[in-house]
Amino acid sequence: DFTSKKGALQQLRVVIMATALTPTRVSLRFVHAWAYARRLFGVPLGPLGPAPLYVPLWLLFAVLRFCVNLFRLATRKARLPPPNPYFDVTYIDEDTRCHRTGEGNIFIQCRPGRGVAKLAPGSA
């Protein structure tokens, strides 16, 4: 949900399928999204409320990849292979795990109310 009332979107829901490739690596496939719009083409929807818009992400990604590769062809650069989104999971202990994405981003997750003190600076 987007808390700002100024944006065109009120909510964006993305459906992702995950597949375990190894005991520590998970592959992701973006299936589709529902975008709940407050405005369409700049026109407020008013009393109708947010309009649900179905977005087939495989088609969106295919069009984007085509456009990027067309541009790269025109500028004589090598084509880009299709992205392969994934993340690696490392379980630090029973309450804490670390995710490293294919882009190198790192996320640390803890169970609510547990494990946070161990990660706080200066905690013993």
Q: What is the Cα–Cα distance from 122 to 108, expressed in whole angstroms? A: 18
Please name every residue paired with 66 in a beta bridge, in sequence order, or none if there are none: none
Q: Is the pLDDT of residue 43 over 80?
A: no
Which pair of tokens denotes residue 47?
């009393």
Task: With cut-offs at 50, 70 and 90, classify the pLDDT of residue 106.
Answer: very high
User: Whole-angstrom Cα distance, residue 107 to residue 73?
Assistant: 36
How many other C-beta atoms lie within 10 A of the C-beta of residue 87? 19
pLDDT digits (tens, 9 = 90+) for 72-102: 888 887 776 667 789 999 988 888 889 998 8
pTM score of the predicted model:
0.56
Length of the chain: 124
According to DSSP, residue 109 is labeled E
Query: What pLDDT, on the 0 to 100 scale, is given for residue 114?
Result: 63
Judge whether 11 and 4 are in contact, CB under 8 Å.
no
Contact 82/29 with Cβ under 8 angstroms? no
